[in-house]
Amino acid sequence: MGLTKNNLFSKEQIELADFAKVLAHPARIAILQYLIETNQCVNGTLVQEIGLAQATISQHLKALKEIGLVQGTIEGVSVSYCINPVKFEELKHHLNSFFNDFENSKLRCCD
């Protein structure tokens, strides 16, 4: 989205769209689900669990880390990743708000 068009949208709309862009790849969903299920910091196991090449996993982790859903800590020569609970709550809030707006609306399409 061009910088000149951002003034047309609310901060919440832009943030939700940014989350949606990052979540739009099934590998990223799989990574997040694995991190949630294991409930711990992981590093090399992602390659075995997801079944993608290390470089591909790294690319997806980078996108998740850039938006803040995943955080990493350096341990020696490797990086361990885990869910960032604060950012995940922010995502949950945005999605709940989005779906609550629909639930609370009186609009019904073509009834």
Domains of the chain: 10-100 (1.10.10.10)
* pTM, rounded to two decimals: 0.83
Give the whole-angstrom CA distance, residue 31 versus residue 60.
8
* pLDDT tens track for 14-40: 999 999 999 999 999 999 999 999 888
Q: Is 99 a residue whose pLDDT tops 70?
A: yes
Residues 6+ apart with CB under 8 A from 34: 42, 46, 49, 50
Q: Could you give the percent of the chain with pLDDT greater than 70?
A: 87
pLDDT of residue 104: 74
Listed in sequence order, the residues at least 6 apart from 41 whose beta carbon sits closer than 8 Å to its beta carbon are 73, 80, 81, 82
Average pLDDT across the chain, whole number: 87
| Separation CA 64–CA 41 (nearest Å) | 14
Q: Tell which wins on pLDDT, 106 or 59.
A: 59
